[in-house]
């Protein structure tokens, strides 16, 4: 018997109602409302591409990414985007278990082919973490780490101190600022990894939009010796 399911009833990530006892982590009808990203997908960012001949989406043809490859579960649209929004702003962290399981279940072959050594969530700024009380990317990374039995490190990658809010900046300026937004915790690098970081890293976040955030993380990791950087996010699309 699922005792935890009795004490903490599972809420559906789409309608937020309690899912019937032992009925899984989502209502069956609600699952159909999520837009899963299916093949063919961009070989770089995992977005849906149209036409079987296309390997990369328009964004990835135009942009050089620092990361190697990634996938997302759903399109950032409709009920899916609302669900992701509620995790962050309405503290619906209980949805994360569903998304972690689905992400892994739907991409297991690909994930094993990546041969990941370490999982890293996109870090929140210290101020935001204090305000929100949790990092949704950290919780997602933690669940994925447990399912895959691969180590997770929430402290190696850090936000640099906030200077100006990104919202006040133009597109180019924002990209530049974002490139400097992350840094490696030198202390962790030295004592946990003896200054030799693992070769293949998986970055976890809630949403992939332009890829700038994942790129900024990948860039700093590669500057510190990581060879391959992959990513997984719940949703993909313009927020």
At its nearest, how many Å lie between Zn ion and the CB of residue 20? 10
At its nearest, how many Å lie between Zn ion and the CB of residue 56? 5
Per CB under 5 A, residues contacting Zn ion are 12, 14-15, 27, 30, 42, 44-45, 47, 57, 60
Nearer to Zn ion, 75 or 125 (CB): 75
At its nearest, how many Å lie between Zn ion and the CB of residue 150? 25
Q: Name 184's bridge partners.
A: 157
Task: Tell me the pairing of strands 157-159 and 182-184.
Answer: antiparallel
Nearer to Zn ion, 16 or 179 (CB): 16
Residue 24: exposure state from Cβ atoms within 10 A (0-12, 13-18, ≥19): middle
**∠ Cα 158 227 109 (to 5°):** 100
Nearer to Zn ion, 54 or 117 (CB): 54
Phi, psi for residue 134 in degrees, rounded to 5: -155, 160
Nearer to Zn ion, 45 or 178 (CB): 45
At its nearest, how many Å lie between Zn ion and the CB of residue 42? 3
Q: If you count them, how many residues does the chain have?
A: 239
Task: Tell me the pairing of strands 200-208 and 228-236.
Answer: parallel
């Amino acid at each position: 018997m699922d005792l935890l399911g009795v004490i903490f009833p599972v809420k559906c990530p789409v309608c937020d109602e309690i899912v019937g006892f032992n009925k899984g982590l989502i209502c069956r009808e609600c699952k159909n409302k999520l837009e899963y990203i299916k093949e063919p997908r961009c070989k770089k960012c995992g977005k849906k591409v149209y036409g079987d001949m296309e390997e990369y989406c328009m964004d990835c043809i135009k942009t050089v990414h620092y990361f190697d490859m990634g996938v997302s579960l759903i399109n950032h649209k409709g009920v899916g985007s609302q669900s992701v929004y509620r995790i962050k702003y309405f503290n619906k962290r209980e949805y994360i278990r569903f998304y972690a399981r689905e992400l892994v279940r739907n991409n297991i072959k690909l994930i094993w082919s990546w041969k990941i050594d370490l999982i890293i969530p996109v870090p929140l700024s210290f101020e935001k973490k204090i305000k929100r009380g949790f990092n949704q990317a950290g919780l997602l990374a933690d669940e994925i780490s447990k399912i895959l039995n691969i180590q997770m490190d929430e402290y190696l990658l850090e936000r640099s101190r906030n200077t100006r809010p990104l919202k006040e900046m133009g597109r180019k300026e924002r990209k530049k600022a974002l490139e400097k937004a992350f840094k490696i915790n030198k202390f962790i690098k030295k004592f946990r990894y003896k200054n030799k970081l693992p070769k293949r890293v998986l970055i976890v976040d809630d949403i992939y939009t332009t890829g700038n955030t994942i790129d900024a993380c990948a860039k700093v990791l590669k500057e510190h010796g990581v060879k391959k950087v992959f990513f997984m996010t719940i949703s993909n699309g313009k927020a």
